[in-house]
Amino acid sequence: MGLFRRFVSQTRKPEGFLGKLMLNSMNSGHSQLADWGFAHLPPLTPEAVVDLGCGGGRNAGELLKKYPQAHVTAIDYSELSVEKARVYNKTAVESGRCRVQQGNVSALALPDSCFDLATAFETVYFWPGLENCFAEAARVLRPGGYFMICNESDGLDASGKKFEKIIDGMRCFTAEEIEAALRAAGFSVVTCDRHPSKPWITVLAKKQ
């Protein structure tokens, strides 16, 4: 496997030296996409937020800023991501406002109906079965809670298709596929938005 392929494959589960480089790249390289996604959130005053597939922890940090009254839980199945996210959000972790833990989105070790908002930035490409994972997101949300998914690929762009061929286990979903899986998982209010000039998509779902 060539160096480029080995590096980009770290997006799935960062490990080792290349994983550390990838996590730094994620925190900086995905910031514009994430901020565009954040702009789609309705006015909220959540008490508890969970960031699923938190990567290097940058977006968990933005959630802490956006909702200063909220506790944020950040979850990733990469041990290296968990370590990085803890360091990135060290002050909030030490003060008790943020918890970072290793976990699998297909079987979250979290109680039912405990969050007001769940987010997933640049991560559902690797989730093992969208409907099951989305059902887990619905399970941990309180009634009326929101789940936001933000992807750099709309499932149709050439770049996304290219990386699907390079990275094992990656799949770029269309907004329609994501919406169908969300509705099958129990979300009844789903809205999708596409960036006017880039293949970015944000999908916002509400649990009734």
Digit-coded pLDDT (tens) for 44-89: 999 999 999 999 999 999 999 999 999 999 999 999 999 999 999 9
CA distances from 2 to 32, 120, 177 (A): 29, 29, 32
Distance of CA 101 to the CA centre of its chain: 14
- Rounded to two decimals, the pTM is 0.91
**Exposed / middle / buried, residue 131 (Cβ in 10 Å: 0-12, 13-18, 19+):** middle
Mean pLDDT of 6-19: 62
Give the confidence band of 4 by pLDDT, cuts at 50, 70, 90: low
Backbone dihedral angles phi then psi of residue 189, each to the nearest 5 degrees? -120, 110
Q: How confident is the model at residue 170 (pLDDT cuts 50, 70, 90)?
A: confident
Query: Which pLDDT does position 166 carry in this prediction?
Result: 83
Q: What is the pLDDT of residue 21?
A: 66
Report pLDDT for 163.
82
Span 167-180, average pLDDT:
92
For residues 39, 34, 108, 146, the Cα torsion angle rounded to the nearest 10 degrees is: 10
Please tell me the CATH code under which domain 3-206 is placed. Answer: 3.40.50.150
Q: Is 112:137 a contact under the CB 8 Å cutoff?
A: no
Query: What distance in Å separates the CA atoms of residue 21 and residue 25, rounded to the nearest whole number?
Result: 6
Instruction: Over range 22-49, report the average pLDDT.
Output: 87
Q: Which residue has the tokens 């997933």?
A: 120
How far is the CA of 69 from the CAs of 48, 80, 188, in angstroms?
9, 28, 28
pLDDT at residue 134 above 60? Answer: yes
pLDDT for 7 equals 59
Question: What is the rounded distance in angstroms from the CA atom of residue 65 to the CA atom of residue 35?
Answer: 12
Structural contact between residues 64 and 72, judged by C-beta atoms closer than 8 angstroms = yes
> What's the CA gap between 101 and 92, in Å, rounded?
14
- Kindly tell me the sign of the dihedral angle through the C-alpha atoms of 152, 155, 201, 206: negative
In the structure, what pLDDT confidence band is assigned to residue 165 with cuts at 50, 70 and 90?
confident
The chain-wide mean pLDDT, for the chain, equals: 91
Q: Which two three-digit tokens encode residue 118? A: 């769940």
DSSP state of 119: E
Phi, psi of 10 (to 5 degrees): -70, -10
Cβ pair 31, 133 in contact under 8 A: no
What torsion, rounded to 10 degrees, do the Cα atoms 53, 145, 194, 40 define? Answer: -100
